[in-house]
Chain A
Amino acid sequence: SSVMPWRSHGRNYDTELQRCRLEAALVDFGDYHPLKPIMVTDTKTRRGTRKGSTSSSSSSSSSAPPDPLSSMLDGTDPLSMFAAASDLGRRKREKEEEAVGPDFEPWSLKRGEILARFTTTEKLSIVRKATSQGSAVSEKVRTRLEELDDLEEGSQRELLNLSQQDYANRIEELNQSLKEAWSSDQKVKALKIVIQCSKLLSDNSVIQFYPSKFVLITDILDTFGRLVYDRIWTMCSDPRPLPDNFTVEDVNDTAKETCLNWFYKIASIRELLPRLYVEAAILKCNRFLNKSGIQETLPRLSAMVRGIGDPLVAAYARAYLCRVGMEVAPHLKDSLNRNFFDLLGTFRQISSENVRAQLVLQRVEMPEYLTLYSPAISWILQCIAYRAPEGHNLIMRAFRPEFVAARATDFIGMIKDCDEAGFPKHLLFGSLGRSLASADPPESERLTILNEAWKVITKVRSPQDYINCAEIWVEFTCRHFTKREVNTILADIIKHMTPDRAFEDAYPQLQSVIRKILTYFHDFSVLFSMERFLPFLDMFQKDSVRVEVCKSIMEVFIKHQVELTRDPVILNAMLHICKTMHDSVNALTLEDEKRSLALLIIGFIRMVSFGRDFEQQLSFCVEARATFCNLEPVLVQLIHTVNQLAMETRRVMRGNHSRKTAAFVRACAAYSFITIPSLSSIFSRLSLYLLSGQVALANQCLSQADAFLKAAVSILPEVPRSISVEGKLRSSESFLVDFINSFLATLLVIPDHPEHGVLYLVRGLLNMVQDYTWEDNSDAKVRVYISALPLLAAMSQETYLYSIPKVDSNDTLYGGDPKFLSEINKLCETLIGQILDHLKTLGRDESTRRQGALAFSLFGVLLAHGDLRNNKLSQLAVNLWNLSHKHGCCETRTSVRTLEFIKHQTQQPDMTHLSDMVQRLTLQSRT
């Protein structure tokens, strides 16, 4: 085909811009403006008051129409009214159920703590205890008596070797089957389940787990108690529900009889523990039977506990009694007290032969065994202490942190006088420390307390005991003292934990120490000026733990370090920490982990600023690059940082570089130039080459800019056809086309290199585009050609649309030289030839839709950038229009708007030639 001649349409960008601008119209304040009333000048965040919050500005407020949305949100809409109502109902129910006030720490809070604290790796079993062999039960009636005690066959199988989680799951299953049995009206089965469960509480074969087991099983008992109570309550709610403060007289006979039946059934349960627990579970039901029921039952049940030989089992049974007692009748202090005194009375059981034998068997040390009691005892004490009159009983208040805090010095004296044989002092100091962590002792005593406590703690021989106690006291120290004291403590911990690598068994505690310090010290210059802090970190020698600790420090740093810093102490320490994180990366590290580590390190790099000392900043980046070379996102950030540094230098110099700053920005460019190739992601490299090239150009480093762009062009062939985006393989084509387009936009301002030919970068790029292996059946290459035309047209202008200050672009270099222009035109002609060839191929391939779309794009380019006074070009435009409309694939709306635009253009003085053409452009009717 004959070569299509190209002439670019001459542009006057300034006039065009003026023409494009809308006419400005002045608006007075008082004038109506549709956007005005929703201007928010004052925002209240409280819900339901939004009506008042969207006040219109100044004088227009009165004329503002009422906002239909705001009146909906007036707080009186039906939904929120409904919510409020049901809220009220719930509160009422809660009030009825919980006679204790909000100042009573509820069981629900304790139970989680207990479950988390008392765990085991031992295997657990759910075993039905063979009904007391050798008991007095005669064989012939055993069957009948056991009827109640046992679940039906099948569910009785022994479950051995359960992990703690399996055990909890199994208990939860029992809880579910309890609810199911109940809802399917199998009340006896429900009772059997509860009895079975309570029996498990007499088994303490894995004693460390007992407190947690107690929590799990009493959950089931609670469920049962609620079910029975609710059932009887519903029986009396006809015709109307019982009032909250109902009396025995309000309860009908059927309900009473049912209730009594439950009590009779439970009274005949053979074994002591289930009988006790199940009756306690339905304690509240006494309300249906008589006024004094609860008052009489509680002491009786408390006395019943005396029959439990095992002291731990008994202590927890007492805790349960106190719990249900507090729920139902918190005012009944006598039985609470009785429980406590019985507990004290039977405490000697702990040293009994039985217990000792058991501990030996289970290899549990006495101190650990004693801590198993603490949830039960502290609960009982909490119940007793609740709203106890001042001075009523000293012991009652003894366990409240505030009380302890106020008398910490006395306590220390008491603990010091303690006999070491009874209960190790470090455990007592541990408890004391725990109390002091949540309540403050008088200021004047704090230092003495710390000194006294630490005197004892530091003498604890066993590293495990030592760290358990020391870890608790770190909180107190951080809370009230300075880095000096904390540093001393860190030193002491290091001294204790280093011999024989004792730290290896104490990572959780050591981590907790770090956590506590980080909670109180957010000023990292203070933190890192603690001499022993980094040596402390050195104790984390297990890689995973060490990285975790570093990450936690970094997270706090990123969260709390507000100001940019150049503090050498911080930088050294942080570099050390970040390096530790970085060095943990290996071939097996997961992508997610790498990403999160990289993000943390980037967070640090972004906080580093040496102010005006740019050279220092650059050398920091050099060091960082060497340190973090395995984490690509960090390298990317470093390149950005250096580019930013160059631009900052430019800003400071107001664009006029001195010899020194010019050398510096070239150094920056060099940094980027040698860093980019080490990135593996091709698109990171491409975009950083382009960006760095732009930065170099902005800093008048022409040859550097050239080198960047050349490098970008030279790696284009490496772009793979598909890339992984968020783990999925996607075609790279759209990314590549996007990149090339923005690359083209930069090329406009790049002056030609004196030693290379005209437009050598553009040619280089287009050559690469031509040689690139594009996807089969893709128009991408031709689309790139089409988008190169506007660039070339822009390059033919006398003055370019944009330029870089202090950089002469081709417009100045060539000054509109005809040879230069004809080079451009030749290039355009080649491109158009290629595009038309492609259009023909598409015609042959019956790909008419693609053909139409491409033809229309080219038409658009001709219209905007070509000089259509040229007949051949104008004929080409008409042909392209017709081609794009031939198959009716064009969107009519777009065509119509294009025609309107052309007609509008014809009114411009130098565009009259378009009117001839527009005559020849016809719209395809859709018939």
Chain B
Amino acid sequence: MSVTLDIRLKRANKVYLEGPIQLISSNIEVAKAGKIPGGKTEIPFEFPLHTKGNKVLYETYHGVFVNIQYTLRCDMKRSLLAKDLSRSCEFIVHCQPQKSKVIPTPVNFTITPDTLQSREKNSLPKFLIRGHLDATNCVISLPLTGEVVVENSDVPIKSIELQLVRVETCGCAEGYARDATEIQNIQIAEGDVCHSLAIPIYMIFPRLFTCPTLETTNFKVEFEVNVVVVLHDDHLITESFPLKLCRL
């Protein structure tokens, strides 16, 4: 019985600094050599996950550049004449919840044409949008919350959306490769909402596509949320907030 971690290449055209990095590998014998009686035999097993040397076990994660995957393989060696049997399956690793308390870090924001970096800010209609996120240090199992208020806007609002973006960064020969992927986009306002009325920001982190923010020597997995306001003339106004996700 062996446990291997392999990181496979999803895209061959990318040049990676290193091949799959093995974080852990351990073998245990679950049954001694001998005859297994006919019928169904169940062999219970358990083993601790010990890392190789000073490596850290990361949470299971499937991304674009980065895949962290744990598999179990069971081999059954048989006598010369019979083929060996083998089965493998993935198992999910979640980190131990961090003991330390997450200190919420609320953030207020105000968006006007002047706060935007966009080149066309002079051509934008007038608007004033205020709001806050209750925390950018987020617990992955709890929703991202906050409020957004359209104080005024010359052009009617078409939609307000929350865009959750994951940023993977890999160290590579030329420096690093960075890829931002939208993993969730939900609409929190549709149509010309009432002005000066606080609209809730509320987003649950999707289970399959998020993991605690990860920073290793070789790669980084980070998240950010964009508050996107679409005006009726299809102008997009985006305000971006980096998030730090952790498991509690």
Contact A135 B230, CB 8 Å, known A272-B187, A304-B200, A307-B160: yes
Report the nearest A residue to B157, measured CB to CB.
A309
Are the C-beta atoms of A135 and B197 separated by less than 8 Å? no
Is B25 interfacial (CB 8 A cutoff)? Answer: no
Stretch of B96-104, B130-138, B202-210, B211-219 that contacts chain A: B202-210
Question: How far apart sit A264 and B141, CA to CA, in the bound complex (Å)?
Answer: 11
Is B190 interfacial (CB 8 A cutoff)? Answer: yes
Q: Which residues of B contact A133 (CB under 8 A)?
A: 234
Q: Which residues of A contact B158 (CB under 8 A)?
A: 132, 134
Are the C-beta atoms of A137 and B193 separated by less than 8 Å? no
Is A126 interfacial (CB 8 A cutoff)? Answer: no
Residues of A237-275 at the interface with B, using a CB-CB cut-off of 8 Å, are 264, 267-273, 275
Contact A348 B194, CB 8 Å, known A135-B159, A136-B228, A307-B200: yes
A320 → chain B closest CB, angstroms: 16
Question: How far apart sit A352 and B198, CA to CA, in the bound complex (Å)?
Answer: 18
Are the C-beta atoms of B186 and A307 separated by less than 8 Å? no
Contact of A268 among B163, B181, B206, B236 (CB under 8 A): B206
Contact A136 B197, CB 8 Å, known A307-B190, A309-B191, A353-B156: no
Are the C-beta atoms of B188 and A272 separated by less than 8 Å? yes
Binary per-residue interface labels of chain B (172-196) against chain A in the complex, 1 for a CB within 8 Å, 0 otherwise: 0000000001111111111111100
Contact of A136 among B181, B185, B199, B202 (CB under 8 A): B185
Are the C-beta atoms of A273 and B159 separated by less than 8 Å? no
Are the C-beta atoms of B185 and A135 separated by less than 8 Å? yes
Q: Which residues of B contact A141 (CB under 8 A)?
A: 181-183
Contact A271 B181, CB 8 Å, known A132-B159, A136-B226, A309-B157: no
A577 → chain B closest CB, angstroms: 55
Are the C-beta atoms of B204 and A308 separated by less than 8 Å? no
Is A303 interfacial (CB 8 A cutoff)? Answer: yes
Is A202 interfacial (CB 8 A cutoff)? Answer: yes
Residues of B201-248 at the interface with A, using a CB-CB cut-off of 8 Å, are 202-204, 206-207, 226, 228, 230, 234, 236, 238
Report the nearest B residue to A345, measured CB to CB.
B197
Q: Which residues of A contact B190 (CB under 8 A)?
A: 202, 271-273, 307-310
Contact A136 B186, CB 8 Å, known A300-B202, A306-B198: no
Is A349 interfacial (CB 8 A cutoff)? Answer: yes
Q: Which residues of A contact B59 (CB under 8 A)?
A: none
| Interface residues contributed by chain B, number (CB under 8 Å) | 36
Residues of B66-114 at the interface with A, using a CB-CB cut-off of 8 Å, are none
Are the C-beta atoms of A346 and B194 separated by less than 8 Å? yes
Are the C-beta atoms of A264 and B186 separated by less than 8 Å? no
Q: Which residues of A contact B185 (CB under 8 A)?
A: 135-137, 145, 270
B160, B190, B207 interface centre (most CB from chain A within 10 Å): B190
A304 → chain B closest CB, angstroms: 6
Q: Which residues of A contact B230 (CB under 8 A)?
A: 132, 134-136
Contact A308 B156, CB 8 Å, known A264-B206, A267-B204: no
A894 → chain B closest CB, angstroms: 85
Residues of A155-213 at the interface with B, using a CB-CB cut-off of 8 Å, are 202
B177 → chain A closest CB, angstroms: 17
Report the nearest A residue to B160, measured CB to CB.
A307
Are the C-beta atoms of B189 and A136 separated by less than 8 Å? no
Are the C-beta atoms of B161 and A136 separated by less than 8 Å? yes
Is A847 interfacial (CB 8 A cutoff)? Answer: no
Question: How far apart sit A440 and B228, CA to CA, in the bound complex (Å)?
Answer: 55
Question: How far apart sit A273 and B191, CA to CA, in the bound complex (Å)?
Answer: 11
Question: How far apart sit A313 and B191, CA to CA, in the bound complex (Å)?
Answer: 10
Question: How far apart sit A481 and B162, CA to CA, in the bound complex (Å)?
Answer: 63
Q: Which residues of A contact B160 (CB under 8 A)?
A: 307
A354 → chain B closest CB, angstroms: 5
Contact of B197 among A134, A306, A354 (CB under 8 A): A306
Are the C-beta atoms of B182 and A138 separated by less than 8 Å? yes
Question: How far apart sit A136 and B206, CA to CA, in the bound complex (Å)?
Answer: 18
Report the nearest B residue to A309, measured CB to CB.
B191
Residues of A110-150 at the interface with B, using a CB-CB cut-off of 8 Å, are 132-138, 141, 145
Question: How far apart sit A438 and B126, CA to CA, in the bound complex (Å)?
Answer: 53
Q: Which residues of A contact B184 (CB under 8 A)?
A: 145, 268
A144 → chain B closest CB, angstroms: 9
Question: How far apart sit A810 and B123, CA to CA, in the bound complex (Å)?
Answer: 121
Report the nearest B residue to A261, measured CB to CB.
B207
A261 → chain B closest CB, angstroms: 9
Contact A307 B189, CB 8 Å, known A135-B159, A141-B181, A267-B204: yes
Are the C-beta atoms of B186 and A304 separated by less than 8 Å? no
Question: How far apart sit A133 and B230, CA to CA, in the bound complex (Å)?
Answer: 10
Question: How far apart sit A135 and B204, CA to CA, in the bound complex (Å)?
Answer: 20
Are the C-beta atoms of B236 and A134 separated by less than 8 Å? yes
A159 → chain B closest CB, angstroms: 22
Q: Which residues of A contact B189 (CB under 8 A)?
A: 272, 306-309
Are the C-beta atoms of A275 and B194 separated by less than 8 Å? no
Question: How far apart sit A20 and B238, CA to CA, in the bound complex (Å)?
Answer: 112
Question: How far apart sit A272 and B197, CA to CA, in the bound complex (Å)?
Answer: 17
Binary per-residue interface labels of chain A (293-318) against chain B in the complex, 1 for a CB within 8 Å, 0 otherwise: 00000001001101111100100000
Contact A307 B199, CB 8 Å, known A136-B163, A136-B236: yes
Report the nearest A residue to B237, measured CB to CB.
A136
A756 → chain B closest CB, angstroms: 99
Question: How far apart sit A349 and B204, CA to CA, in the bound complex (Å)?
Answer: 30
A834 → chain B closest CB, angstroms: 97
A133 → chain B closest CB, angstroms: 7
Are the C-beta atoms of B197 and A308 separated by less than 8 Å? no
Question: How far apart sit A145 and B209, CA to CA, in the bound complex (Å)?
Answer: 12
Question: How far apart sit A264 and B204, CA to CA, in the bound complex (Å)?
Answer: 8
Report the nearest A residue to B233, measured CB to CB.
A134
Are the C-beta atoms of A306 and B236 separated by less than 8 Å? no
Q: Which residues of B contact A307 (CB under 8 A)?
A: 160, 187-190, 193, 199-200
Are the C-beta atoms of A137 and B194 separated by less than 8 Å? no
Question: How far apart sit A579 and B75, CA to CA, in the bound complex (Å)?
Answer: 101
Q: Which residues of A contact B181 (CB under 8 A)?
A: 141
Question: How far apart sit A764 and B202, CA to CA, in the bound complex (Å)?
Answer: 103
Report the nearest A residue to B143, measured CB to CB.
A267
Are the C-beta atoms of B187 and A271 separated by less than 8 Å? yes
A374 → chain B closest CB, angstroms: 21
Are the C-beta atoms of A354 and B161 separated by less than 8 Å? no
Contact of B193 among A134, A264, A306, A353 (CB under 8 A): A306
Report the nearest B residue to A342, measured CB to CB.
B197
Question: How far apart sit A133 and B203, CA to CA, in the bound complex (Å)?
Answer: 22
Are the C-beta atoms of A132 and B187 separated by less than 8 Å? yes
Question: How far apart sit A271 and B202, CA to CA, in the bound complex (Å)?
Answer: 13
B131 → chain A closest CB, angstroms: 13
Q: Which residues of A contact B159 (CB under 8 A)?
A: 132, 135
Question: How far apart sit A269 and B192, CA to CA, in the bound complex (Å)?
Answer: 21
Question: How far apart sit A136 and B160, CA to CA, in the bound complex (Å)?
Answer: 9
B209 → chain A closest CB, angstroms: 10
Binary per-residue interface labels of chain A (352-364) against chain B in the complex, 1 for a CB within 8 Å, 0 otherwise: 1110000000000
Question: How far apart sit A132 and B191, CA to CA, in the bound complex (Å)?
Answer: 11
Report the nearest B residue to A304, measured CB to CB.
B200
Are the C-beta atoms of B204 and A352 separated by less than 8 Å? no
Pairs A-B, 3 closest by C-beta atoms: A309-B191, A307-B189, A134-B234
User: What are 13 of the A-B contact pairs (CB < 8 Å)?
Assistant: A132-B159, A132-B230, A136-B228, A268-B184, A269-B186, A272-B186, A273-B190, A306-B189, A307-B190, A307-B199, A310-B191, A346-B197, A349-B194
Q: Given contacts A141-B182, A306-B193, could you give 6 more A-B pairs where the C-beta distance is less than 8 Å?
A: A136-B228, A141-B181, A145-B182, A303-B200, A309-B191, A353-B156
